[in-house]
Amino acid sequence: MRITAGTVADGIREQLFMVGDIPGVLWTPAEGSGPRPLVLIGHGG
């Protein structure tokens, strides 16, 4: 996984990433630590 860009706004960190040729977006709280759940949504688009 390679992070290609990232921003923080309104308490949310958005990180764009690539896994091989497949792009994705990861949204996490900008602050805090500890375990968090992960929701993965895929589509055939």
Q: Which tens digit of pLDDT belongs to each residue from 1-29?
A: 899 999 999 999 999 999 999 899 999 99
Distance between CA atoms of residues 18 and 34, nearest Å: 24
For residue 37, tell me if it sits in a domain.
Answer: no
The band of 42, judged by pLDDT with boundaries at 50, 70 and 90, is: confident
pTM, full prediction: 0.73
Residue 45, pLDDT above cutoff 70: no
For residue 28, tell me if it sits in a domain.
Answer: yes
For residue 45, tell me if it sits in a domain.
Answer: no
For residue 9, tell me if it sits in a domain.
Answer: yes
Distance between CA atoms of residues 45 and 38, nearest Å: 21
Greater confidence (11 vs 38) lies with: 11
Q: For 24-45, what is the mean pLDDT?
A: 85
Torsion of CA 21, 19, 40, 11, to 10 degrees: -110
Distance between CA atoms of residues 17 and 14, nearest Å: 10
For residue 12, tell me if it sits in a domain.
Answer: yes
Number of domains in the chain: 1
For residue 16, tell me if it sits in a domain.
Answer: yes
Q: Please tell me the predicted confidence (pLDDT) of residue 25.
A: 92
For residue 26, tell me if it sits in a domain.
Answer: yes
**Domain containing residue 24:** 1-32
